[in-house]
Amino acid sequence: MDLVIEKAAVLIEALPYIRKFNKKTFVIKYGGAAQTEDSLRESFSRNIVLFNHIGINTVIVHGGGPGISKMMAQLGKAPEFIQGHRVTDKETMDIVEMVLGGLINKEIVSSINRTGGKAVGITGKDGCLITAKKKLLKSSTSPTPIDIGLVGEVTEINPEIINALHTQGFTPVIAPIGVSDEGETLNINADFAASAIAGALKAEKLILLTDTPGILNKDGKTISTIRKDNYLQYTTDATITGGMLPKINACIEALDTGVGKIHIIDGRIPNSLLLEIFTEEGVGTEIVL
Task: With residue 157 as reference, give the H or E element that holds it.
Answer: strand 146-157
Nearest to 162 by CA among 201, 188, 195, 125: 201
pLDDT in tens, 77-133: 999 988 888 999 999 999 999 999 999 999 999 999 999 999 999 999 999 999 999
Instruction: Report the C-alpha gap between 260 and 203 in whole angstroms.
Output: 7
> Any residues with CB less than 8 A from the CB of 71 and at least 6 apart, and which?
95, 98, 99
pLDDT in tens, 83-99: 888 999 999 999 999 99
pLDDT in tens, 4-45: 556 667 677 888 888 999 999 999 999 888 888 889 999 999
pLDDT in tens, 186-209: 999 999 999 999 999 999 999 999
Instruction: Report the C-alpha gap between 263 and 288 in whole angstroms.
Output: 9
All domains of the chain in start order, with CATH: 23-288 (3.40.1160.10)
Mean pLDDT value across residues 167-174:
97
**Is residue 151 scored above 80 in pLDDT?**
yes
Backbone angles phi, psi at 86, to 5 degrees: -75, 125
Q: Give the model's pLDDT for residue 2.
A: 56
**Is residue 225 scored above 80 in pLDDT?**
yes
**Is residue 1 scored above 60 in pLDDT?**
no
Alpha-carbon separation of residue 91 from 32, 169, 203, 270 (angstroms): 25, 36, 35, 37
Cβ atoms of 271 and 47 closer than 8 Å: yes
Cβ atoms of 185 and 6 closer than 8 Å: no
